[in-house]
């Protein structure tokens, strides 16, 4: 095993076989990782919100309520009275603007934290790929304690707030699609797993998803302000969502094979060090597989086989409003 090698040159990371003792082991008895810095937003509630019953209960209630409402209202339901008012329109714009700004803040914060961590690693130890991977993987010195435990935790909480996307769709008299419901329900549990077990690959989903969300919610703000958005842009955004799933999952899986040199012990160590980290990785990848399939089906139906409906300035089609940016 690569983890048993010692080497004087610590300038590079290596690829080797996965750590067989944890690759498919259930995450039992693993302590909570370091939470957000004391005094930060909701840091005192970290232990409570990391209870598995929180995301499972909310996701189950969410999916159940959506299913009941979809069946009871049928096709072509009338919008709620409040949804026809100017106040509702401006509340929706404010909601989308908030998520756009928050997503941009998260994406930039994570990128700067990652660059700062890797730079510090390179200064204190030799530069190279080993410093990069140590910055990503080490729980003691890496990105987890320098930003991911904070931005990632808030990103996990944002998945609960994003339920309002579905509330908006239902208020407008539309149905919540399987893609919509599956995504929001699964995202809560997937992000919980990544943060609960401090799985290094979760940085990928925080960075990539927050970037896509910035673009998507900016699109919705534009639509709400009656700004015409070309159909090619909508297609590009949906394509970007699919690419994020495929590329992100592939990069996440690569973490299993990475070993970086740890000068504190004088040998190579695996990027993933316990069963909780590998469990979170597999859970996220398995969750994204059917989500990718649903998005590809939506892309084909919307941009290949579906005839283009007439567009009204500043609006999108029902299917696009339900699934394009609600990711």
Identify the band that residue 321 occupies on the pLDDT scale cut at 50, 70 and 90. Answer: very low
The Cα–Cα gap between 3 and 269 comes to 5
Q: What is the mean pLDDT of residues 180-201?
A: 96
- pLDDT tens, residue by residue, 104-121: 999 999 999 999 998 888
The Cα–Cα gap between 165 and 32 comes to 31
What is the reported pLDDT for 12? 72
Hey, CA dihedral for 226, 228, 232, 233, is it positive or negative? negative
The reported pTM is 0.88
Does residue 15 sit in helix, strand or coil? strand
Instruction: Calculate the alpha carbon distances from 155 to 146, 179, 189, 225, 228 in Å.
Output: 15, 20, 12, 27, 30
For the chain, domain boundaries: 53-62+82-307
- pLDDT tens, residue by residue, 63-109: 999 999 998 876 667 888 999 999 999 999 999 999 999 999 999 99
In the chain, what percentage of residues exceed pLDDT 90? 67
- pLDDT tens, residue by residue, 244-293: 999 999 999 999 999 988 887 888 899 999 999 999 999 999 999 999 99
3-state percent breakdown (helix, strand, coil) of the chain, nearest 5 = 65, 5, 30
Q: Which long-range contacts (CB under 8 A, 24 or more apart) does 231-239 make?
A: 231/308, 231/311, 234/316, 234/320, 234/324, 235/299, 235/302, 235/303, 237/212, 237/324, 237/325, 238/295, 238/298, 238/299, 238/302, 238/303, 238/324, 239/299
Identify the band that residue 164 occupies on the pLDDT scale cut at 50, 70 and 90. Answer: very high
């Amino acid at each position: 095993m690569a983890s048993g090698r010692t080497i004087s040159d610590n300038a590079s990371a290596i690829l080797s076989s996965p750590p067989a003792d944890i690759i498919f082991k259930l995450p039992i008895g693993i302590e909570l990782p370091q939470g957000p810095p004391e005094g930060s937003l909701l840091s005192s509630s970290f232990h409570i919100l990391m209870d598995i019953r929180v995301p499972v209960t909310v996701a189950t209630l969410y999916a159940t309520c959506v299913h009941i409402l979809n069946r009871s209202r049928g096709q072509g339901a009338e919008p709620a009275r409040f949804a026809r008012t100017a106040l509702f329109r401006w509340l929706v714009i404010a909601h989308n603007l908030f998520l756009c700004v928050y997503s941009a803040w998260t994406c930039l914060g994570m990128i700067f934290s990652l660059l700062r961590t890797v730079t510090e690693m390179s200064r204190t130890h030799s530069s190279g790929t080993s410093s990069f991977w140590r910055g990503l993987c080490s729980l003691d010195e890496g990105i987890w304690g320098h930003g991911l435990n904070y931005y990632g935790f808030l990103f996990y909480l944002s998945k609960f707030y994003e339920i309002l996307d579905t509330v908006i769709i239902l208020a407008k008299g539309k149905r919540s699609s399987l893609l919509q419901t599956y995504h929001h329900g699964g995202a809560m549990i997937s992000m919980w797993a990544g943060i609960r077990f401090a799985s290094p690959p979760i940085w990928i989903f925080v960075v990539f998803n927050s970037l896509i969300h910035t673009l998507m919610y900016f699109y919705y703000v534009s639509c709400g302000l009656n700004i015409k958005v070309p159909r090619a842009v909508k297609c590009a955004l949906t394509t970007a969502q699919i690419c994020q799933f495929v590329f992100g999952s592939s990069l996440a899986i690569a973490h299993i094979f990475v070993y970086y040199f740890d000068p504190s012990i004088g040998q190579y160590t695996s990027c993933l060090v316990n069963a909780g980290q590998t469990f979170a990785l597999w859970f996220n990848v398995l969750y994204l597989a059917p989500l990718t399939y649903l998005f590809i089906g939506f892309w084909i139906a919307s941009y290949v086989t579906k005839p283009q409906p007439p567009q009204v300035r500043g609006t999108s089609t029902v299917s696009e409003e339900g699934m394009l940016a609600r990711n």
